[in-house]
Chain A
Amino acid sequence: KQEVTQIPAALSVPEGENLVLNCSFTDSAIYNLQWFRQDPGKGLTSLLLIQSSQREQTSGRLNASLDKSSGRSTLYIAASQPGDSATYLCAADRGSTLGRLYFGRGTQLTVWP
């Protein structure tokens, strides 16, 4: 089974700060590592997908990196804004074509003005 851990569980920062959210997983034989955003009581919005052959992906102010050998991924958020406040979840598969995702518990981010 793939175990996914996210640190920290919660983070509260002032607007404008650069942030790093951490995700670790136990099985390095993954195909995909996805980062999601979830607003309270809402669905999951895919932010970035890193495939096993890649080391990082960027979208706007977001950058995600993947280090399979150490079982880690980081999500970097530049110049944070109050609208970034949400829970961020990472999810990894287990390197098979079955594709089920194993989720971490998420990091609850609050960006205050």
Chain B
Amino acid sequence: AAGVIQSPRHLIKEKRETATLKCYPIPRHDTVYWYQQGPGQDPQFLISFYEKMQSDKGSIPDRFSAQQFSDYHSELNMSSLELGDSALYFCASSLKTGGGSEQYFGPGTRLTVT
């Protein structure tokens, strides 16, 4: 079965640079979530999109922005990178039902800021 695809898998950037992370959800899934997991930390919710509209927003810095495109893939854009942005970034997708729905996670993008 198709899974969530994230690219790149690894990314090394310098401080103050920009980075773009991509997520391709499971086909026919209509909701995408982004999470950030710092070293030794639990994943923290950043932002989500339902049918290409932002549906929820968590602790996402103003330096970050994201969108979901017509083909349902999503991109997380990160500018003015800081050392503290080094983390594992997960994308998850789901098919929204009347209540909550199971989220399927991608393998993550490991971002290292030097």
- Chain A residues within CB distance 8 Å of chain B: 4, 30-32, 34, 36, 41-46, 49, 51-52, 89, 91, 93, 95, 97-106
Contact = CB atoms under 8 A, between A and B. Distances in A.
B100 A32 contact: yes
B25 interface: no
Contact of B99 (A44, A52, A102, A106): A52
Contacts of B107: 42-43
A9 B98 CA distance: 34
Interface stretch (B41-49, B62-70, B77-85): B41-49
B42 A99 contact: no
Q: Is the interface of A mostly helix, strand, loop or mixed?
A: loop
Contacts of A93: 100
29 contacts: A31-B99, A34-B102, A36-B105, A41-B110, A42-B107, A42-B108, A43-B90, A44-B90, A46-B104, A49-B102, A52-B100, A89-B42, A93-B100, A97-B99, A97-B100, A99-B33, A99-B55, A99-B100, A99-B101, A100-B45, A100-B56, A101-B33, A101-B35, A101-B43, A101-B103, A102-B45, A103-B43, A104-B42, A106-B42
A95 B99 CA distance: 8
Contacts of A101: 33, 35, 43, 45, 103
A46 B103 contact: yes
B96 interface: yes
B94 A99 contact: yes
Given A100-B58, A105-B42, A44 B105 contact: yes
The 8 residue pairs across chains A and B that have the minimum distance between CB atoms:
A31-B100, A103-B42, A43-B107, A32-B100, A44-B105, A98-B56, A100-B45, A31-B99
